[in-house]
Structure 1
Amino acid sequence: RPYCTPPHLRAIMQGDEDVVAKFLSHVHYFSGAYNDVESFGNLAQELEVREANSSLLSAANRMFYLAIPPSIFADVIQGIDAKARAVNDGWTRLIVEKPFGRDTDSFHELNNVVAKHFNEHEIFRIDHYLGKELVQNLMILRFGNRIFEPLWNSNHVQSVTISFKEPFGVEGRAGYFDNFGIIRDVMQNHLLQILCLVGMECPASWAADDIRDEKVKVLKCIRDVDMDDVVVGQYGASADGTKKGYLEDPDVPSDSKTPTFAMAVFHIDNARWHNVPFMMKCGKALNERKAEVRIQFRHAPPPLFPGLARNELVISVQPDEAVYVKLMTKQPGLGMKLDQKELDFSYKHNFDEKTPEAYERLIYEVTRGEHSLFVRGDELDYAWQIFTPFLEKLEKGKKKCFTRPLAVWQR
């Protein structure tokens, strides 16, 4: 509700008072208990009144967005199915926000609850990174530009690094975060989805299941994570004491081992990516806000240019959307002095159009019934099969969670 206040909406809608007023006229608040089926019956009655008064709809559709704790998931699903589904040939669609469990068993438990009441075509498991412009552009970049696809394999690629950095800590959500940690919060979903799009084969079509089938094939090929290839840590207090460390947050247990930073190396054991490390790094209270994919190519062969810097293709997801290539060039002038420069394709310099927010795009796709930007159940199942074993080892203390002062993190 705070985000539906006129000042907040004016900032989003660039001060257009008429647009703000029109939007607010469609916003209504209904209060009920999650675990009371009759509350959902009362909600349905309220919806039916508003639907009957609308001149825009022949059949009213209902979309439910579940951004709720897993502990109340079953009650809400059952209440919607029993009492609040759309009527008169309208569709009912369910948007499910992460966390989708915290390991394989809890995911199966949640997924079984959903499957008991909703069909797969009614379920939209949302990962907002799939709605980001540059993440969507990965398939176009790969399969729509012939110059890249022949190089997109272990013969030419040295490594792939997928990074996520935030310059702030867990302020305001420490209670949630400590139960899940940075690996479950970011790596197992956002970064893994990007890895799938970078690593997958060309789908047969743009159909949702064709795309998701190829992502599943990648997940099935990921080998078990070697704990020697995992680093986890927590941010500590700043040296001057002005910024508190993670363990000083009142909602965090003083003996918590939950990581706020993690790095892990993954390998896709197939013909295309044999022995190419995919490194995923994510953390809070770091030096900047950034999400990017960095594909580093192998060294140029001898004999002309020994020891040259490697070429890189960088896809910047946020904050500045861009694609750039780092390549070697000769410096102007006499002699043969080489330098590495960037060919930069920046969105803000090439497009005038406003880029839709990720959630804006994804909610629109739900209204269209388009699943390609959403996570299928078997995708999540394979994702948890990858992450659950090494998460269990971390939680049993098989890997030390180190602490560094905030100033060190932010260098």
Structure 2
Amino acid sequence: MALPSSHSCFSSTFSSFSSKNQERSLFTRSKIDFTPFSRIFTRFRVLQRKCFNNGHLIPLENDFGDTSTVEGPVKHFKATHDHFSSPEQNKTTLSIIVVGASGDLAKKKIFPALFALYYEDFLPEHFTVFGYARSKMTDGELRNMISQTLTCRIDKRENCNDKMEQFLQRCFYHSGQYGSEENFKELDDKLKEKETGKLANRLFYLSIPPDIFVAAVKSASCLAASQFGWTRVIVEKPFGRDSESSRELTASLKKYLIEEQIFRIDHYLGKELVENLSVLRFSNLVFEPLWSRQYIRNVQLIFSEDFGTEGRGGYFDSYGIIRDIMQNHLLQILALFAMETPVSLDAEDIRNEKVKVLRSMRTLQVDDIVIGQYKGHSKGGKTYPSYTDDPQVPNNSLTPTFAAAAMFIDNSRWDSVPFLLKAGKALHSKGAEIRVQFRHVPGNLYRRNFGTDLDKNTNELVIRVQPNEAIYLKINNKIPGLGMRLDRSNLNLLYSTKYTKEIPDAYERLLLDAISGERRLFIRSDELDAAWALFTPVLKELEEKHVAPELYPYGSRGPVGAHYLAAKYNVRWGDLSSEDS
């Protein structure tokens, strides 16, 4: 198969497959059916822009579509979880490269999550962790930095300190610029020294600002990708600011990676109660028949923080609460909640259903959203700052720190059911929860016993994602004694009481899934497109019209407008009732 000279890197790749035996061994290792190889290979459109990795081509762009199960004919060979547990793992090694290793996310979340996986024996026998950042640092200084945030489980074992020291000895550091091919080539040389000739798989975690994603991916993909193992890249949000910038970012990443190599992380999808959502729904007969407009009156997805933007004002002011929380965390939970039953638990089947429900949703209108911004005040002798008191925030900023929205899904299951989303900073409490309010009992014999409270005679399912993970169902119950007095009681599953094992951090689960090649908790590009399509028009309108956010006191329950929005659809926010305070 002769190729144009402009694709000389492609030609060198083909030469590496000239031996049928070599081709067979590589494809057998990848456990992917590439027969016939030429048919699959011709489905790739190669851009004029090229990059090399010791004579091997990095796939530049593909036509597989987002649901393809093929993982790339040259660079990307899937290492399954079965592979890690087989005798073949002695022939492989895993290199985890944390790009942006000196940042807060790496120190507080990524390195502790990696240690937790090592502590629980979830990492392969042969692995190394490399920190990469612009800061000048030695291996010893990196280890000292990491050690400050490492902790053992509640069930601390006697060998915890030994395990910690063993983990730290596998951590190394390389300083370099994020867009420097020379520095990434130096990193590649160091990685090869540690990989000692084994089949190497490499996982890059981009814990860096989004404006340097592409430069880092280009350098890593061209100069530091694995030659014969798989190479995967975890990308942190934000994934753009709107539909256009998101598509541009995806297109830029796909110049150097194929879709199956990109793991877009939303850490809320790794939360224990979010992952349990589909189990609760699809494996319990008592809930599945009720999961529709016939029985559910409204659904509320609520996120609140009891602190402001302290230390993050500059970043936050560029995005605001809608982009930072609502368009990703809450919308992802909504999609999992509302999707139809997937064909299987396979990642593509689940993500296909999420895309379907997102595409069935109405685009958010400005009349169905309320925005707010916290203001300073004094209470109990303590002074609380306003959002614009942050030195990194302009005095005239209109960036919302609070948003409440009413969204609808136009399909047969959810027609006319309001999904209310609420997210805010500097509120009265910290938490995240899903509230499912059921309809009234038709012809309820005991309606008069509830007085005038329209919500008292309805059931409510509450899934508390954080803190103090719990699931509880509010039911109506007779108060013991003479006479007929009714009360609301909770059937309560409090995780800390039921389960003694510590709940893993979301980053532990997501890192393990990325290493294992499990994609169901990561976001696909068409899923991202569908999510941005819902919010981009209203974001554009709010910003072009300079809509002023409603002010609310720091530490309050948020702007009054949020209550009017809920009342518009005959709903009361469940987190504001006296029994939940």
Same fold (TM over 0.5): yes
Task: Say yes or no: does 1:196 pair with 2:335.
Answer: yes
Matched residue SS, 2:429: coil
Task: Say yes or no: does 1:224 pair with 2:372.
Answer: no
Matched residue SS, 2:406: strand
Alignment of 1:278-293 (within 5 A): 278-293=419-434
Number of the residue aligned with 1:364: 512
Q: 2:386, 2:248 → 1: CA distance?
A: 35
Which runs of 5 or more structure 1 residues have no equivalent in the other structure? none
- The Cα of 1:409 is off from its aligned counterpart by 4.2
Q: 2:546, 2:146 → 1: CA distance?
A: 48
Which entry has the higher C-alpha Rg, 1 or 2? Answer: 2
Matched residue SS, 1:150: helix
Q: Output the amino acid matched with 1:229.
A: D
Number of the residue aligned with 1:248: 389
Could you tell me whether the CA contact under 8 Å between 1:199 and 1:218 is conserved in 2? yes
Kindly provide the CA deviation profile for residues 27-61 of structure 1, in whole angstroms up to 9, marking residues without a partner as x.
Answer: 11111112221111111111111112xxxx83111
Larger RCO of the pair (alpha carbons < 8 Å, separation 6+): 1
Task: Say yes or no: does 1:140 pair with 2:269.
Answer: no
Q: Output the amino acid matched with 1:334.
A: L
Could you tell me whether the CA contact under 8 Å between 2:306 and 2:555 is conserved in 1? no
My pick for the range that moved more, 250-259 or 399-408, is 399-408
My pick for the range that moved more, 270-279 or 23-32, is 23-32
- The Cα of 1:407 is off from its aligned counterpart by 4.2
**Cα distance change of structure 1 residues 5 and 95 upon mapping to structure 2, 3 Å threshold:** closer
Q: 1:152, 1:6 → 2: CA distance?
A: 46
- The Cα of 1:334 is off from its aligned counterpart by 1.5
Q: 2:408, 2:551 → 1: CA distance?
A: 27
Selected match of 2:488 from 340, 346, 350: 340
Alignment of 1:3-402 (within 5 A): 4-10=145-151, 16-52=160-196, 58-87=198-227, 89-240=228-379, 242-306=383-447, 308-397=456-545, 399-402=547-550
Q: 1:96, 1:44 → 2: CA distance?
A: 20
Kindly provide the CA deviation profile for residues 196-218 of structure 1, in whole angstroms up to 9, marking residues without a partner as x.
Answer: 01100110000000000000011
Kindly provide the CA deviation profile for residues 275-328 of structure 1, in whole angstroms up to 9, marking residues without a partner as x.
Answer: 000000001111111100000001111251325431000101001111100010
- The Cα of 1:67 is off from its aligned counterpart by 2.0
Q: 2:555, 2:344 → 1: CA distance?
A: 48
Q: 2:407, 2:244 → 1: CA distance?
A: 22
Q: Output the amino acid matched with 2:175.
A: S
Q: 1:155, 1:198 → 2: CA distance?
A: 16
Q: Output the amino acid matched with 2:222.
A: A
Structure 2 length-normalised TM: 0.68
My pick for the range that moved more, 221-230 or 337-346, is 221-230
Matched residue SS, 2:422: strand
- The Cα of 1:239 is off from its aligned counterpart by 2.0
Matched residue SS, 1:60: strand
Structure 1 length-normalised TM: 0.95
Q: 2:176, 2:288 → 1: CA distance?
A: 53
Could you tell me whether the CA contact under 8 Å between 2:153 and 2:502 is conserved in 1? no
Kindly provide the CA deviation profile for residues 165-209 of structure 1, in whole angstroms up to 9, marking residues without a partner as x.
Answer: 111111111111000011101111110010001100110000000
- The Cα of 1:97 is off from its aligned counterpart by 0.4
Could you tell me whether the CA contact under 8 Å between 2:398 and 2:547 is conserved in 1? no
Number of the residue aligned with 2:90: none
Could you tell me whether the CA contact under 8 Å between 1:235 and 1:409 is conserved in 2? no
Q: Output the amino acid matched with 1:267.
A: F
Kindly provide the CA deviation profile for residues 3-25 of structure 1, in whole angstroms up to 9, marking residues without a partner as x.
Answer: 54434214668593212211111
Kindly provide the CA deviation profile for residues 319-377 of structure 1, in whole angstroms up to 9, marking residues without a partner as x.
Answer: 11111000101111122111110000111111122211100010001110000111111
Q: Output the amino acid matched with 1:82.
A: C
Q: 1:229, 1:238 → 2: CA distance?
A: 29
Q: Output the amino acid matched with 2:548.
A: K
Matched residue SS, 1:164: strand
Q: 1:402, 1:262 → 2: CA distance?
A: 10
- The alignment yields a C-alpha RMSD, in angstroms, of 1.7
Matched residue SS, 2:370: strand
Q: 2:491, 2:151 → 1: CA distance?
A: 37
Which runs of 5 or more structure 2 residues have no equivalent in the other structure? 1-101, 109-144, 448-453, 559-580
Kindly provide the CA deviation profile for residues 115-137 of structure 1, in whole angstroms up to 9, marking residues without a partner as x.
Answer: 11111111110000111110000
- The Cα of 1:234 is off from its aligned counterpart by 0.8
Q: Output the amino acid matched with 1:218.
A: V
Q: Output the amino acid matched with 1:83.
A: L
Q: 2:540, 2:295 → 1: CA distance?
A: 35
Matched residue SS, 2:523: coil
Q: 2:259, 2:277 → 1: CA distance?
A: 26
Q: 1:253, 1:334 → 2: CA distance?
A: 63
Q: How many residues align?
A: 406
